[in-house]
Structure 1
Amino acid sequence: MTIGHHLKEFHGLPVFDLPEADARVELPEPDAVAWRLSAATYAEDDDELWEPMFERFLKTVDASRVRALVVGGWNEAYENSSADIVAALGAARDRLTALEAVFLGDMTFEDCEISWIIQSDVTPLLAAYPALREFGVRGGTGLAFPSVRHTALETLVVETGGLGGEVVRGIVGSELPALVKLDLWLGTDEYGGDSTTEDLAPLLAGTAFPALRDLALRNSVIQDAVAAAVAGAPVVARVERLDLSMGVLTDEGAAALLDGRSLTHLEHLDLSHHYLSEAMQERVRAALAPHGVTVVLDDAEEAEDDGDGEVYRYVAVAE
């Protein structure tokens, strides 16, 4: 599976692509949409680059009323990092005074494969916008997230084909007292995903993020280990929605999850894109569905055997 569609909604708002400079299009109210600014990743000589597009946007729209921004592609995103975009957004903080949400890197596989996207240290955006409530980033290559303190952020989403352990430690070591939703795509070591369950320790211990209610640790090649770690984790007691989807979860991980702390208080458990046997799927349903837990077990996968004893299982999104 790859990412084949751009965001249609962000921060509860419909996404609206900024028209080309010469387009005769009636623009929506500045606060009625999430504005998507996307330049060609494979730019031709006459293509508008991202930074000039951003300047045109600030001159065209009442920036003081903009609530949400979606950054799509930028020129040669597979070679050029997001650092200049992060800097440009930060420099505009006195103009984007109502900004509540930013998504950085809304690209499909046709724009740039997720693990080819070159990111940067994205935390200056949090420093520049202390009122930011939602932040999302796609792409783990070059991504940095040193520990920060931010008192307003409620949702943090990091989508990668491989999330480095240093980045994970920076995130879970941050002070985010308002954080309600955390969504981490841990990925595979083939694309830089060298994080371990030990890196998640402060999160799982429940000492980080006191407002957390929605936890996703997904798209992981170590999904069984993650499930086992989550099974005994104190944080589970206050989580209402738990998402361990998109990874290589097998019966071993699911059994550990069921044998750990009670999950009957959950509203929603997502294990989709899994490698569970039918018997284990029924065991999960029988344990939780009677308690009112919505259990998602879509996209059952089958391991591939190369005939020489090697068995292959794949995360949903890697390259």
Structure 2
Amino acid sequence: MTIHEYLSEYGGLPVFDFAREEERPEAGAAAWRIATEFEGEHFGEVFARFLREVETTRVTALVIGYWGASYDDNTADPVELLVPAADRFPALRSLFLGDIVMEESEISWIEHSDITPLLEAFPLLERFEVRGGTGLRLNPVKSTALRVLRMETGGLPREVVRGVGECDLPNLERLDLWLGVPDYGGNATAADLAPILGGERLPALRHLALADAGIQDEVAAAVAGAPVVARLETLDLSMGALTDEGAEALLSGQPLTHLKRLDLSHHYLSEEMMRRVRAALPGVEIDLSDRQDQRGRWRFVAVSE
């Protein structure tokens, strides 16, 4: 799976590309996308112009697109630009960092830094999403406002997984982590997920995605006995290398009949195991689409490089 299209909607608002589109909406009527292009205007200059020309005090949603790479002359660190300008965005509630398509950068080549200062500088954020895992860092934070946390990567570093698990997020309702594979930095183990799966710091969690994992069987086994599962409405173990072994662990673990939806799409299950999963969860909406060829010796995740 590759990402070819920019976000068209974010935070309940249509996305407006500040640098490319001319007829501008009211400041609070759009999710503003700020980005540059390869060999285009320096990202810092685009951002500075945005601060000058848009009534930022009314902006509720920001989408940060391509900001350059280490080999570009126009590169910048969006975190270093956003944090000092935090007081210019008192209404900001939704932030997407890395709305970057494959033609600009493969997901695992998007270069990040420490994103902890963003969550500290914008304590009222309700939705925070990141695409790309290279260089990504996160220290434990506390937020009573955050409702959605999503990280799309081809390899999520162990330190970031642990950082998420140590955050105090009492009102977080949705957590999506694309774990990826070791070749692209996804070195987390099932043991690293223990604080998340314990759920002590996530009392409001209703949706959990631990997806795109090369170790999807191990993740499924850990989920099978996880306390947090009992309060979930939706569970997503899609996009990974899930085999009959992982599905067996799920079926042998705690009951999942309370779920509204179970997403196992992009999997390596046998036809017999697919029948067993459906039979065991008759009232649950189950996605078993995108079955992969089991005959090869390799098991691929949906998103890696």
For the superposition of Structure 1 and Structure 2, which TM-score range results when normalised by the shorter chain? over 0.9
Contact map agreement 1:81 1:118 (CA 8 A) in 2: no
| Alignment CA distance shift 1:80-1:167 (3 Å) | farther
- The reply to whether residue 133 of structure 1 matches residue 126 of structure 2 is yes
CA distance in 2, matches of 1:252, 1:59: 56
| Alignment CA distance shift 1:136-1:205 (3 Å) | same
2:10 aligned residue = 10
Contact map agreement 2:79 2:118 (CA 8 A) in 1: yes
User: What is the aligned-residue identity percentage?
Assistant: 56
State the shift of 1:81 in Å. Answer: 12
- 2:203 paired residue among 171, 189, 210: 210
CA distance in 2, matches of 1:78, 1:245: 34
CA distance in 2, matches of 1:80, 1:56: 18
- Deviations 1:256-288 (Å, cap 9, x if unpaired)? 111111111001111111111111111111211
State the shift of 1:304 in Å. Answer: 5.3
Give the TM-score normalised by structure 1. Answer: 0.92
- Root-mean-square deviation (Å): 1.7
Contact map agreement 2:10 2:31 (CA 8 A) in 1: yes
State the shift of 1:19 in Å. Answer: 3.5
- Deviations 1:65-113 (Å, cap 9, x if unpaired)? 0000000101226779987310211111111110001111111111100
Alignment of 1:201-280 (within 5 A): 201-280=194-273
1:308 aligned residue = none
1:29 aligned residue = 26
SS in 1 for 2:209: strand
CA distance in 1, matches of 2:70, 2:252: 44
Query: Which amino acid in the other structure matches residue 33 of structure 2?
Result: R
SS in 1 for 2:88: coil
- The reply to whether residue 318 of structure 1 matches residue 296 of structure 2 is no
Following TM superposition, the consecutive aligned residue runs of length 4 or more in structure 1 with deviations greater than 6 angstroms are 78-83
Unaligned runs of 5+ in 1: 306-310
| Alignment CA distance shift 1:218-1:27 (3 Å) | same
| Alignment CA distance shift 1:80-1:199 (3 Å) | farther
CA distance in 1, matches of 2:261, 2:268: 19
| Alignment CA distance shift 1:304-1:56 (3 Å) | farther
Query: Which amino acid in the other structure matches residue 16 of structure 1?
Result: F
Give the TM-score normalised by structure 2. Answer: 0.96
1:180 aligned residue = 173
